[in-house]
Amino acid sequence: MTTLETLKGLPRLDLRGFVSPVQHLERFSEAIGVEVWCKRDDIGSVGLAGNKVRKLEVELAHAVASGATHLVAEGSRLSNATRAVAAASAVLGLKCTLLLSHDEPHEPVGNLMLDGLLGADLRFVGNVSWLELARQAETVVRELEQSGERVYRLPIGCASERSCLGFALAYNELREQMREHGRTVGTIVHASSSGGTHAGLVLGNALHGFESEIRGVVVAEDVYPDVVGTYLSHARGGARLINADLELTRDHINITEAYLGDGYGLPATGVYEAIDLLATTEGVLVDPVYSGKAVAAIIDLASKNELKGPVVFWHTGGYHALFDPRYAKRIWSAIDRLSDVAL
Ligand SMILES: Cc1ncc(COP(=O)(O)O)c(C=O)c1O
């Protein structure tokens, strides 16, 4: 069996229910002068939309096979990952506990409201670092195990060597879709934080002889002490799981912090303009925390002639943040034609 066949034969749940389409962003492409396509991983049920679905399809197939009764996940109170875990738990009939950083908010909005509606047990741990959050998650896992639960813990962003295989498969899926359109994949640009998306796409690309460029736009600072090293170890671990004999090095991890701006969830140059341009030219919505920063990167890199085409914007989801007043107010006041509207 070839490595690709091993990858395709992995045990996998179908949580999305359909293959996400790829669409040519004609008017957006014309506006920025580069051929851009969009892989619509943002589409799906409200709970199970976005990039985490791909990771969970592989990771939770393993969890279910191992007899898990309870999923534990961690993230910020606005995390798309924890919301997707809560939704998957409900779909699979598993219990779910979420550890959420930042102080308990007064308003249940966006993903936090969904976490609650989807039946997860919510634990607010205050404004702690990602590392402290992981430590506290370990403590909760031990507590639940002592009470008889069979716990499966999902790391930050659900990124692991196993879950990244969902994105190695996704690379293959995109490649075939683009081929049906008579196009190749020149460059993929995507928002990046925990690294599962990047590691998986790099692995998928490696299985095809590194034919594309994979560019991760970092949207969160200090997720790991060694970000490149951790991404690389996910990709290498994924390769091991499918017996792929590949030479993966730090040079294969291509990420930039140039579009992080003031930090995770905070403003960055060009993001509101990117949200506005994509919404008005294509009707495609991106959020200011994740995918908006990737689109801002595409616009900037296109203006500098630094993108090998055709470009695929991998839409990793996250529109839920648009319904959080904290972000909605900032977007409204940053877009001229809206800020002039008296509410
Ligand atoms: C909408 C969205 N886009 C991109 C990312 C980054 O993906 P990854 O954690 O795989 O780096 C995340 C998760 O953190 C996300 O929720």
- Render pLDDT for 137-180 as a digit per residue (tens, 0 to 9): 999 999 999 999 999 999 999 999 999 999 999 999 999 999 99
Q: Which of 224, 234, 290 to mutate to test the pocket of ligand 1 (most atoms within 8 A of CB)?
A: 290
Atom of ligand 1 nearest to the CA of 316: 3
Mean pLDDT, the chain, as a whole number? 96
Residue 158 Cβ contacting ligand 1 at under 6 Å: no
- Whole-number Å distance, alpha carbon 320 to ligand 1 midpoint, is 13
Q: Which amino acid, residue 50?
A: G
Residue nearest to atom 1 of ligand 1 (CA): 318
Catalytic residue among 79, 89, 160, 163: 79
323 vs 316: CA distance, rounded Å: 17
Q: Where in the chain is the domain with CATH 3.40.50.1100?
A: 3-48+160-339, 52-158
Residue nearest to atom 3 of ligand 1 (CA): 316
DSSP state letter for 322: G
Percent of the chain with pLDDT over 70: 99
Name the band, by pLDDT with cuts 50, 70 and 90, for residue 304. very high
Q: Give the count of alpha carbons within 13 A of 117, CB side only.
A: 12
Query: Mean pLDDT throughout 116-143?
Result: 94
Percent of the chain with pLDDT over 90: 91
Atom of ligand 1 nearest to the CA of 200: 10
Residue 317 Cβ contacting ligand 1 at under 6 Å: yes
Residue 51 Cβ contacting ligand 1 at under 6 Å: yes
Atom of ligand 1 nearest to the CA of 79: 16
Atom of ligand 1 nearest to the CA of 216: 11
DSSP state letter for 103: P
User: Is 79 known to be catalytic?
Assistant: yes
Q: Between the CA of residue 332 and those of 14, 317, 329, what are the distances in Å?
A: 37, 20, 5
Whole-number pLDDT of residue 318: 95
Atom of ligand 1 nearest to the CA of 157: 9
120 vs 47: CA distance, rounded Å: 12
Q: Which of 192, 201, 217 to mutate to test the pocket of ligand 1 (most atoms within 8 A of CB)?
A: 192
Question: Would you state the CATH architecture of domain 3-48+160-339?
Answer: 3-Layer(aba) Sandwich (3.40)
**Which numeric CATH code is attached to 52-158?**
3.40.50.1100
**How many helices and strands in the chain, by DSSP H and E?**
13, 10
pLDDT above 80: residue 55: yes
Whole-number pLDDT of residue 10: 96
pTM: predicted TM-score of the whole model, two decimal places: 0.97
Residue 194 Cβ contacting ligand 1 at under 6 Å: yes
Provide the phi-psi class of 278: left if phi over 0, else alpha when psi is between -120 and 50, else beta. alpha
Name the band, by pLDDT with cuts 50, 70 and 90, for residue 134. very high
Q: What is the pLDDT of residues 205-217, one digit of tens each?
A: 999 999 999 999 9
Q: How many CB atoms lie within 10 A of CB 17?
A: 9
- Whole-number Å distance, alpha carbon 290 to ligand 1 midpoint, is 7
pLDDT above 80: residue 106: no
Residue 37 Cβ contacting ligand 1 at under 6 Å: no
Whole-number pLDDT of residue 5: 94
Contacts of 241 (CB under 8 A, 6+ apart): 161, 162, 165
Residue 196 Cβ contacting ligand 1 at under 6 Å: yes
Q: Which of 42, 80, 198, 231 to mutate to test the pocket of ligand 1 (most atoms within 8 A of CB)?
A: 80
